[in-house]
Amino acid sequence: MATGTRGAYWSEQALPSVLKHSLLGRYIPQFGGMTGSRDGRVVYLDGYAGEGRYESGEPGSAEIAMRVASKHLSQHGLRWTCFFTERERKSFTRLQSVASIYRAQGVDARVHHGEVDGVLDEVLRTGAGLPLFLFLDPCGLGLPWSRLTQAMALRRSPNRWPPTEFLMNFSMVAVRRLGGNARSVKGVERSSERFDEVCGGRWWRDFFPAGKEPAPDADEAVAAEYARRLAAATGMLVRSVPVSKAPHHKPVYHLVFGTWRQHGLWVFGDAAARARDAWWEKLEVAEERNDPDALFSTTSLIRPDPKVVTDAAVPAIAQNLEQLLKHGRPFKLVDHTLDVFGNYYGQVTELAARAAVKRLHEDGKTPSTGVGKKIRDLVVEAPR
Ligand SMILES: C[S@@+](CC[C@H](N)C(=O)[O-])C[C@H]1O[C@@H](n2cnc3c(N)ncnc32)[C@H](O)[C@@H]1O
């Protein structure tokens, strides 16, 4: 299983990375803002950091984090301790030079040449008592199940402090390839065993039975089961976002997010919806660049209109709110993130939730007006 980047990876940002970086760049500043104010510190690990910056000048995941750290330091005095690990020497060297720019701005950017596994314990020690965010973005298979779940168990506490969250790349290309490997009589057992380690058991092989055609969505079933098991093993709220190279293509990976905080879940869903939009935007721009004389772009024809999606989501979310009111108590939106958004979680921004409260108010089903600074903190009351 290949685990390094190849060819033109670092020349410019490919479409899947647009979504990944947009999501990361929207989410982590909010993680720092929400969790860092208590101690004035946040600890961050980018375990498969790459070069930090593309040759095109666009920031990679490492530079995205360093920019956030620099801004938080200068604007709020919030100190991020950022660990970056990169196994390839060439990428590590480039990453070092990007990090030196941010170190000069006061950012605590620690770049390690080597395996993420070798640095994780130091990260956990540094993060003891402090908010910690792990970004794990391998090209192939990532951390073994036992390593990840033990790290989360170490961080788990009854009062949910300090917060810990992760965003992880779960390779669907690897699932499909290893599924084929497991089914084949010529399959390499060691490759399947390596995936057993990542998945925490052999359960995934059941989705790819020998001598039978696997279900067409066997890969998605494995991703869903992995997320379900991770939630069960860590007690975290786990959600994943599929990322593709083109519309209607199978995802190349899922971005799997884990948190113990409802606030995290709320902000992540909103960021995922906005990042999806950035993906479409980039696709449209790329198409125009490749065919500047076209009368209209194919992308513009198939891109879901965000307004149409939101228009469909608002009544559905209003209905979800009505259901929640049946419990007979007022509730804060953020305390019921998944029930509020239902199937529209990660598909629409938080604006749809405010519109749904307003809709309910107009229909006389709640005295709550939907007016208030932070949408997630809106309280919805039952009719008097
Ligand atoms: C997908 S790329 C990273 C992209 C980067 N996170 C971004 O979004 O800009 C994965 C990187 O992980 C590195 N890598 C692979 N296995 C690793 C390991 N066990 N520890 C540290 N780095 C590793 C590869 O050399 C490669 O540069």
Lookup: tokens for 281: 């935007």
For residue 3, the model assigns a pLDDT of 56
Same domain, 253 and 375: no
CATH code for the domain of 260: 3.40.50
Q: Is 262 in the pocket of ligand 1 (CB under 6 A)?
A: no
Helix (H) or strand (E) holding 109: strand 108-113
For residue 305, the model assigns a pLDDT of 86
Q: Does residue 293 form part of some domain?
A: no
Asked whether 32 and 24 are in contact (CB, 8 A), the reply is no
Q: Is 61 in the pocket of ligand 1 (CB under 6 A)?
A: yes
Number of domains in the chain: 2
Q: Does residue 72 form part of some domain?
A: yes
Asked whether 323 and 331 are in contact (CB, 8 A), the reply is no
Q: Which ligand 1 atom is nearest residue 59's CA?
A: 9
Going from the C-alpha of 131 to that of each of 38, 96, 163, 266, the distances in angstroms are 10, 25, 5, 18
* pLDDT per residue as tens, the chain (384 positions): 445 677 789 999 999 999 999 999 999 999 999 999 999 999 999 999 999 999 999 999 999 999 999 999 999 999 999 999 999 999 999 999 999 999 999 999 999 999 999 999 999 999 999 999 999 999 999 999 999 999 999 999 988 899 999 999 999 999 999 999 999 999 999 999 999 999 999 999 999 999 889 999 999 999 999 999 999 999 999 999 999 999 999 999 999 999 999 999 999 999 999 999 999 999 988 888 888 777 777 888 888 888 999 999 999 999 999 999 999 999 999 999 999 999 999 999 999 999 999 999 999 999 999 999 999 999 999 988
Q: Does residue 7 form part of some domain?
A: no
Q: Does residue 222 form part of some domain?
A: yes
> How many angstroms does the Cα of residue 90 sit away from the middle of ligand 1?
12
Q: Is 116 in the pocket of ligand 1 (CB under 6 A)?
A: yes
Rounded-to-10 torsion of CA 157, 229, 36, 137 = 140
> How many angstroms does the Cα of residue 189 sit away from the middle of ligand 1?
25
Helix (H) or strand (E) holding 82: strand 79-86
Same domain, 269 and 329: no
User: Which of 284, 313, 329 is at the close of a domain?
Assistant: 284
For residue 1, the model assigns a pLDDT of 47
Same domain, 239 and 93: yes
> How many angstroms does the Cα of residue 9 sit away from the middle of ligand 1?
11
> How many angstroms does the Cα of residue 136 sit away from the middle of ligand 1?
8
Q: Is 115 in the pocket of ligand 1 (CB under 6 A)?
A: yes
Displacement of CA 106 from its chain's centroid (Å): 27
Same domain, 228 and 320: no
Q: Does residue 9 form part of some domain?
A: no
Q: Does residue 291 form part of some domain?
A: no
Same domain, 257 and 353: no
Same domain, 53 and 133: yes
Q: Is 86 in the pocket of ligand 1 (CB under 6 A)?
A: yes
User: CA–CA separation, 20 vs 272, rounded Å?
Assistant: 9
Asked whether 119 and 86 are in contact (CB, 8 A), the reply is no
Q: What is the domain range of residue 353? A: 300-380
User: CA–CA separation, 165 vs 182, rounded Å?
Assistant: 32
User: Which of 235, 253, 284 is at the close of a domain?
Assistant: 284
Going from the C-alpha of 216 to that of each of 140, 150, 192, 219, 314, the distances in angstroms are 22, 33, 20, 8, 32
Mutate to test the pocket of ligand 1, among 13, 87, 88 (most ligand atoms within 8 A of CB): 87
Q: Does residue 229 form part of some domain?
A: yes
